Amino acid sequence: MLSIRELRDRAVIRPIKRAVEDQLLDLPGVTGVDIGVKHRAGASTGQQVIVVSVIRKKPRELLVPGTCIPGDVFGIPTDVIEEQPVLQHIHCARNEPLTPRQRRSERTGVVRGGSGLTPCRAVYLAPPTVAEAGDYRRIGTLGAVVTGTAPTVVPMGLTTFDVGCLDDAWAVGDRMVDPEGGRVHAELARAALSGRVDAAAVTIAPGLETSCTVDGIGPVTGHTTAYPGELVRKNGFGTGLTPGVVVSVDATVRIDHGEALGVRVLREQIRVAAAELRFCGPGDAGAAVLDPSGRIIGLHVAGSRGGAVGFASPIADVLAELDVELCTESQQIRV
């Protein structure tokens, strides 16, 4: 957990970071702007600074004049790291069998957080995105069960815009399949790809039992705001149950959403660092990130290559933009 001094330092840096992040994002190769601890020769200095992420660090003498990241901004030092956030879904050839990428720890037949989700609609992809050109399905995670607020309480599942919508050709009613069972799982109901949220809600198919739990973690007890230093967990379809530590709630990242949607900027995202080998990987997009009390803090959207770092949209923003409410342990829904 951050000290009071570190929290105060971040509060001072935050408005400056917000004021200059667009100019920094416009520099060649920059992928993100955040607040964090400065490192020198691989060791932490303990100083809170503006952290600028780039695809690849280069010697200053090789950079075009005017494209260098300044050593400080309005007196706030900067630190430069190599990091490229990428969306975390799996692409599966249309005719390839849909098989689970991890072992489920609880019984099947019940829709719960941590299960897989894939649209029936395929997208055409070509190298270098995939090895061979063709039609592909996209697989991600149904992170948690929610309910619509009007006109009636309808059970839905949370995932990301990129998993639920694929591209700009999406429509309400697009069908979703359970990649582990192949049955129709849900239909796309709502979606949001904004400056702070990458999310979608899918209506659960009639007759399916739902559980207000996350597989391998337990009941969802509510939602809360993330804070740096907090221990968290997620269960994604790709890498399963993994622990992490919230290191920032100020991450602004540039993410390539493909040819149809282009590069989008997500602001004030939650940055989670792996507590063990890695926190996330392909197939985890849409996973709920929970604190030790079972409260959801965010919806996992993207991660660094290799999965050492994950990025999540704050859950309060997700719920507000989709106009849904979390299904908690006191509820059990069957339609």
- Say if residues 118 and 138 touch (Cβ distance below 8 Å): yes
Distance set, CA 178 to CA 127, 181, 208 (Å): 27, 5, 12
Rounded to two decimals, what is the model's pTM? 0.92
Q: Indicate whether 326 pLDDT > 50.
A: yes
Q: What percent of the chain stands above pLDDT 70?
A: 92
Work out whether strand 263-274 and strand 209-214 pair parallel, antiparallel, or are unpaired. Answer: unpaired
Residue 335 has pLDDT above 50, yes or no: no
Question: Per-residue pLDDT averaged across 195-199, rounded?
Answer: 96
**pLDDT at position 19:** 96
What 8-state DSSP symbol labels residue 320? H
Parallel, antiparallel, or unpaired for β 263-274 and 309-314? antiparallel
Bond preceding residue 127 cis, omega within 30 of 0: no
Confidence of residue 98 (pLDDT cuts 50, 70, 90): low
Q: Is the pLDDT of residue 102 over 50?
A: no
Evaluate whether 215 touches 141 at the Cβ level (below 8 Å).
no
Q: Tokens for 91, please give them.
A: 């692409």
Cα–Cα distance between 84 and 285 in angstroms, integer? 16
The mean pLDDT of 50-65, rounded to a whole number, is 85
Q: How does DSSP assign 118-167, residue by residue?
A: EESS-EEE-TTTSSS-EEEEEEEEE--EEEE-SSS--EEEEE-HHHHH-S
pLDDT at res. 42: 78
Helices H / strands E in the chain, number of each: 3, 25
Instruction: For residue 334, name the pLDDT band (cuts at 50, 70, 90).
Output: very low
Answer whether residue 126 shows pLDDT above 90: no
Average pLDDT, the chain: 90
Provide the 3-class DSSP secondary structure of residue 196.
coil
Return the pLDDT at 259: 84
Q: How many residues does the chain have?
A: 335
- Please give the average per-residue pLDDT across 1-7, as a whole number: 79
Each residue's pLDDT tens digit, 157-166: 999 999 999 9
Q: At residue 268, does pLDDT exceed 90?
A: yes
* pLDDT, tens only, 221-233: 999 999 999 999 9
Task: Determine contact, residues 95/88, Cβ cutoff 8 Å.
Answer: no
pLDDT of residue 92: 84
Q: Report CA torsion sign: 27, 31, 34, 39.
A: negative
Q: What pLDDT, on a 0 to 100 scale, did the predictor assign at position 233?
A: 98
Percent of the chain residues topping a pLDDT of 90: 69
